[in-house]
Amino acid sequence: MKDSVLKSITAQHNGPIYVYEGAKIQQQYTRLKNAFSGVESLRINYACKALSNISILNLMRSLGSGLDTVSIQEVQLGLKAGFRAEDIIFTPNGVSIEEIEQVAAMGVQINIDNLSILEQFGTKHPNIPICIRINPHVMAGGNSNISVGHIDSKFGISIHQTPHVLRIVENTGMHINGVHMHTGSDILDIEVFLYAAEILFDTALKFKDLDFLDFGSGFKVPYRPGDIETNIEELGEKLTERFHRFCETYGKDLELAFEPGKFLVSEAGYFLTKVNAVKQTTSTVFAQVDSGFNHLIRPMLYGSHHEISNISNPKGKERFYTVVGYICETDTFGSNRKIAEISEGDVLAFKNAGAYCFTMASNYNSRFRPAEVLWYEGEAHLIRKEENFEDLVQNQILIDFKEKVEAN
């Protein structure tokens, strides 16, 4: 997005703000769809944990996307945004059997990754089709902090436990209609992903009445100039060819599904915040902004990189700054970054702020969560108001202890 657009949006709001570019979301969705244009039945289920604003969900629905959810609340958000229950898949981890039953009663596709839950659910509800989430024990991701395909992962049923799964299915008479895998985030090596896909194919052959195979996601996006990313086009060409051969072997054309989240929304997002103060110490120049990890925690939690630019002075002479927040903890957004000269009152833009940014925001230090704006077809649409004090206290209950203390 142009700096002039971002500055204009900032001028209309108080405090920090998230801005999402609708055209970029559409571009990423189309890119993925085109990469797999050779697949007759393709389903893209947006992983809404990345960014769950209902207007964003509605935009995804309008593009033809389904929805990947991990909580009953995300299911409810999807329904509110206009998704049909049959276009939603529920892929929880560690939730109660009661929550799974509640979601199943809504007509949503259930994806189970726990042998105990599988047996309980199959015994009680053998007629409800279920997807099995496997752990292929292959990590296609590049960040050990966020990879979830390893042997001790809490996600998925180990492929080594497949005989146990088959015994449960036989004993309960339940119907398995899909098999799903996830190899972690930030996929760098296409061949490693394809190797994991072979494990999925081998596992799928053990189930005789499938409707779909779900390959998860974890596609890497660039976070800085020249950064590497998942080659979606290469993956599309190679996996499409192999998927066709599998369907021939299986004797039935299945649906191929993905669950992209970050890939669709990360690059579409910008986080804008004002500089409160520029502080010079003996060795560092701090740019202290009107925000903190209460609004954007990923750099502190994951060590993730977000490019930072000064949209108030884009052509200024570059200097080195450490950008920090106002939280009474260490909340460093970036250390010794080369940024156009910063003055107090300038607005800094954090890029790649579409995925896992607002959704992980909090009210720490009793700060308000910021507004969200969707820039779509040349117009700024407010899709979430900035919180106020009433929002902060609306669910709190004040107990007056004065009489109790005086009575004692």
Q: Which residues are catalytic?
A: 328
The structure tokens 């993905």 sit at 258
8 Å CB contact between 147 and 185: yes
Cα 27 from Cα 137, distance rounded (Å): 32
Task: Determine the distance from the C-alpha atom of residue 6 to the mean position of all C-alpha atoms in its chain, rounded to a whole number.
Answer: 23
Antiparallel, parallel or unpaired: β 269-280 and 17-21:
antiparallel
8 Å CB contact between 21 and 1: yes
Cα 371 from Cα 15, distance rounded (Å): 8
